[in-house]
Structure 1
Amino acid sequence: MSCRFRKQVRNGMRDSGDRLAVVLAVRYFMNVGGMEKFSLSLAAFLRDRGHNVKVVAIRGQPMEGVSLRIAGRPRPVPRFMRDWHTGRILVRAVAEEPADVVLGEQKMWNCDVIRPAGGVEDEYWKAHVRFRRILPFPPWTRFLALKRILDLRAERLGYRDPRLRCVIANSNLVRKQLLRHYPHLEGRIRVIHEGVASDLRVPDMSGMRRHVLRSHGLAEDGVTAIFVGHDFRRKGVPQAMQAVAEARRRDPCFRLQLLILGRDRSLYCRRLARRLGIENAVAFAGSVSPPNPCFLAADFLMLPTFYDPFANVTLEALAAGLPVLTTRQNGGAEILTHGTDGWVVDDPGDIRGMVECLLRMRDPARLSAMKASASALAARHSIQAALESVEQALIEVAVEKKRDRELGAPRPIK
């Protein structure tokens, strides 16, 4: 039965009896971030493929053809308890829902499949110590934070749950980190990279480029780097500004400028720009959604992040025809070819390495060739392919669960 079912899935010939009852357990079922966007896309995709989809969320927006259950209004709790508290609410709600397979996000338990789009807690906190230093306390005291203790407990409950059969990692970076902290997951981790619409470019709109640059006080004839993100320190905005300042110092004729999109406390970064003498070459545009119009004004994406399991903006920029300068701490870096469709530096603190990459932007022909390579790379990482891979993983888990029920002996998928 299972072999026939898998063959039908591969051939795309499913009948009504092969539909799955899928429960997606997420905190927010709305368009507020990369993880949430993927959940929306996955629910719509599974619905269109004929599966019965139910979403259990803390907050959410209705979607036609998808059943949405709001799992109760959380009581007011301190911020450090928020993920733990909402996780407990969702787990209780999911236990009441009949399903062939349950897919949960990170810091969830009692799920058949977990997709930790935010990465591994211990690795995040190690990066946190680097990019956020709270004086006069030594950096290691950050590991004593109550939020870390509760978030780590929620993560461990999920990965040590005997019900868990599959973990969907969005990069090999996350896979290696999971195995470092949870070696028993060997054989149960499937890497499925993020996906993007095949082409986010628009027809030549030089007028739009001029409008965006003028509206933010940037030069029309400069080479423009764009940053997109909401956590400026973690995603390396100060390091990006330092690299831009150093590149301009080394070549005063190089009109390099930085357009920053995102929602965060920017006062520190504005002061840093003034100290570096580049306040006229840096613009803070605030939150812009979607960022596509601003991509028109840019020549490449700059994301020297301290930790990103797979930054969605990496693929969004590639699809808009922009090369990407990022770090190995971004899981999205593993799809890039250094010097062809982007640049990858080993560490966000490697300012010299970033400057060397920036100075190569002075050659318009090379930059143009890299833009073409970026578009070609994005076309190989479509959202359709990513969603199909997730669907296949869910089907295999459902098949395995059915087989275990028939045999009477639970056995995790390998």
Structure 2
Amino acid sequence: MKIALVHRRFTTNGGTERYLVGLARFLVTEGHAVSVLCNDVREDLRAEPGVEFVHLPMWRPAKALSLAWSVRRALGKRSFDAVMGLGRHGGHHLYRAGGGSHLDYLRRSHALRRWLSPSDWIDLALDRSAVRSARICIANSNLGAEGLRDDYGARRVEVVYNGVDLARFRPDEQVRAAVRSELGAAGNVAVFVGNGFARKGLDVAIAALPADWALWVVGGDAPVAAPPRVRFLGSQPQPERFLQAADVLLLPTRYDPFANVCLEAMACGIPALTTSSNGAAEVLPEPWMICDSAGAYAAALTRLTPELGARCRAVAECFPPERSYRRALALLLEASS
């Protein structure tokens, strides 16, 4: 079967991008002819076995609009049995809305903004078009599915939870000891992982931190004002090392359809504390791990036990990536028939 996968980038920097690379490899092993339509391919992935790359031109300043135009032009010139989109482009049989509803994102993350920017209006129009033109949409949580139905009237939405690389993200006592030694950590350590500190709620994580806890911040944003026990480590190519070395993940995100770092933390054997505005909250083993205030985080930190870490790993083991890929393939075949 000739399958087209459409997204802006083919790389492993980002949750949707890692999903795309993994899905492409899975489809190749299943015997399908895979074409990836994208604007940018990471250099070391250009020779990906079994994958054909089709370049999508994109121009400033209207990058989103020009990419959508390039997608429709490429699909009009080539013939595919099935097309799956992973971005707001339109023209797909199956659309995986990994970012949920953009309207819901704006509503939850920018509630105090009076005016939307021109780029916001463009993203909303493209988002609505991608959802309404697809025969089937995939959401990675019930939270994301609700936004697609309520905001855009999606005709059919299927929830397919993300998977996690259980070999890469796993408990490792040697790594834990090495990283804690490198960073001089002697006591309790929480970790925050993510870019976009404002949306991810770093301010809440800092406010919730008890006096006897340290906080490691892994992310590419510029450091913010914080007490000395908060350490900014920048963007890290191996975030699993810090998850393996910490005692808990704090992610007070203001909106995330499904923050995969929560599943990655649990796979590393540490609890993930996050908000009800994160679809990953749907798979947490305890309801008190869902925290919507700094006080709730502080209280949850007093309830952590080694046994909880083992339970979190067991939950993560229920979400191998292949399970998500196989379900996506089944829906793609259905949508294209």
Please say whether Structure 1 and Structure 2 have the same fold, judged by a TM-score greater than 0.5: yes
Tell me, yes or no, if the aligned pair for 2:131 and 2:148 is still in contact at 8 Å: no
Cα pair 1:108 1:114 within 8 Å, conserved: no
- 3-state DSSP class of the match of 1:140? coil
State whether structure 2 residue 270 is matched by structure 1 residue 322: yes
Alignment of 1:268-287 (within 5 A): 269=224, 271=225, 273=226, 278-279=227-228, 281-287=229-235
In the alignment, the residues of structure 2 paired with residue 102 and residue 66 of structure 1 have an alpha-carbon distance, to the nearest angstrom, of 14
Q: Which amino acid aligns with 2:249?
A: L
Cα distance in 2, alignment partners of residues 389 and 160 from structure 1: 21
Mapped pair 1:140 → 2:140 = no
> After superposition, where does 1:240-259 map in structure 2 within 5 Å?
240-244=205-209, 247-248=210-211, 255-259=212-216
Mapping of 1:198-347 within 5 angstroms?
Answer: 198-199=166-167, 200-205=169-174, 208-216=175-183, 218-220=184-186, 222-244=187-209, 247-248=210-211, 255-266=212-223, 269=224, 271=225, 273=226, 278-279=227-228, 281-338=229-286, 343-345=289-291, 347=292
- Equivalent-residue separation in structure 1 for 2:181 and 2:151 (angstroms): 49
Q: Is 1:356 the counterpart of 2:275 in the alignment?
A: no
| Structure 2 residue corresponding to 1:31, chosen from 12, 22, 31 | 12
CA contact (8 A) 1:117 1:309 kept: yes
Note the C-alpha offset of 1:293: 1.6
Larger Rg: 1
Identity rate of aligned residues, in percent? 31
SS of the residue corresponding to residue 5 of structure 2 reads strand
Shift of 1:262: 0.7
Question: Aligned-pair distance for 1:158?
Answer: 1.8
In 1, the alpha carbon distance for the partners of 2:161 and 2:244 equals 25
- Equivalent residue letter for 2:56: A
In the TM superposition, what whole-angstrom CA distance separates every residue of 1:374-407 from its partner, at most 9, and x where no partner exists?
Answer: 11000111111111101111111233xxxxxxxx
| Cα offset, 1:31, TM superposition | 1.3
Q: Distance in 1 between matches of 2:273 and 2:282?
A: 12
Tell me the distance in 2 between the aligned counterparts of 1:262 and 1:232: 8
| Partner residue, 1:55 | 36
Tell me if structure 2 keeps the 8 A contact 1:58–1:70. Answer: yes
1:399-410 matches, within 5 Å, as 399=337
Distance 2:258 2:281 in 1: 8
Residues 273-320 of structure 1: per-residue CA shift (max 9 Å, x gap):
1xxxx31x1111111112122222101111110011111111111111
Return the alpha-carbon distance in structure 2 between the equivalents of residues 85 and 128 of structure 1: 26
Alignment correspondent of 1:411: none
| Shift, 1:214, TM fit | 4.1
- Please tell me whether the aligned partners of residues 223 and 299 of structure 1 are also in contact (alpha carbons under 8 angstroms): yes
Matched, 1:66 2:51: yes
Q: How many pairs does the alignment contain? A: 332
Equivalent residue number for residue 375 of structure 1: 313
Q: Deviations over 1:19-38 (max 9, x none)?
A: x2110111001112000000
Mind listing any 5+ residue stretches in structure 1 that lack a counterpart? 1-19, 134-138, 249-254, 362-366, 400-414
- 8 Å Cα contact 1:310/1:331 also seen in 2: yes
Per the normalisation by structure 1, the TM-score is 0.77
Q: Deviations over 1:185-207 (max 9, x none)?
A: 24x111100001234225431xx
Question: 1: CA distance between counterparts of 2:84 and 2:289?
Answer: 34
- What is the correspondence of 1:143-162 to structure 2 with a 5 Å cutoff? 143=116, 145-161=117-133
- Provide the C-alpha distance between the structure 1 equivalents of 2:199 and 2:65, rounded to a whole number of angstroms: 22
